[in-house]
Amino acid sequence: MKKFLTTFLLIVALTVSTARAAEFEMVEYSAQVKLQWLAAAGIPEAQKFLKLIDRPVFFNAENLNDFERIQLANSLYQELNYAAAIEFVRQNNYSNVFDLACSISPRAMILGDEGRKVVVGELQTVCLLGDWCVDEFGKKSRKNVSYDAFWLQDKAGMTASADKLKGELCIIEQGVLIYLTDDVRAQMFENIRDVLKKHGGCLITSDFNQKQYFTDAAAALFGESQASTIYAETKAMYEKVYEDKISDESLQDEKEAMDFLKTHGLVARKVPLFKSTPKLNIYSKLTPAQIQAVNELAAKSYLWVITAL
């Protein structure tokens, strides 16, 4: 397995031009870090993906200060997003899911194994890894899940991928806005508007309250007095991975975000992350008091449901 994967990754690397080397590293690293948090939360599919790609984890107690708190807070935040999106798709009975910039997506495998069609939109390096992982141990997901390579501002690429899905779409996007420049962000939402006008359905995201949402998740675990510190440590960690500054103030004000969406032909409503108490894998790692605090957090309206005007 290790020899095969080494050969596979060499082939992946050779498909990426020298000009794209930085993109290859950045995207692959961020995908692996997200997998690390989901696996640490106890999600079996994420653990399988992480084992399959067979790489050392980036961060551990030896190279990251305050590792245990950072890992637990990020694992909770990632599992909340992961589980809330799956529940939304199930409760609204979406047969078609368009998962944008989600890295190597264990969520896609879950939904694909349920018989739903899932297209994952990512950059080329992640798509190659993702398709290979699904083929290795997918069930129904082998025929229902595919990875398509395009940039979020690529209208033609996004439209062509969405057109592979027949019927209304649930577009999922979590955790990408803070990494985009203003022009890319604007073009991405114009592309999403056009896809929704053509196919119907909605986009779900928590990105317009990402900073407060993550801070509240950290507070549920470690108290409000520690939450801002854990957020700052996490931001610094990701800036190290991306080798770039994170824009975490843009569109975090609700009115500003709603006005932004309206200018791009979209409208949003806020809904609770979960309609009922969730069953999270990470609960096995929490105290009763932490579980109670997380359950209260899970009932808050951090999920935005966005539709075309």
- Name 105's bridge partners: none
Angle among Cα 256, 294, 299 to the nearest 5 degrees reads 55
How many whole angstroms separate alpha carbon 207 and alpha carbon 72? 20
Give the C-alpha separation, 202 to 261, whole Å: 13
Q: Which domains are seen in the chain, by residue range? A: 2-308 (3.40.50.150)
* Average pLDDT of every residue of the chain: 87
Of the listed ranges 22-31, 193-202, 205-214, the least confidently predicted one is 22-31
Note whether 144 and 116 are within 8 A (CB).
yes
Question: 303-308 and 201-205 as β-strands: parallel, antiparallel, unpaired?
Answer: antiparallel
Which pair of structure tokens corresponds to residue 194?
Answer: 């056009």
Write down the pLDDT at residue 265: 97
3-state secondary structure of 254: helix
The pLDDT tens digits for 215-248 are: 999 999 999 999 999 999 999 988 877 777 888 8
> Is pLDDT above 90 for 277?
yes
pLDDT on residue 16: 40
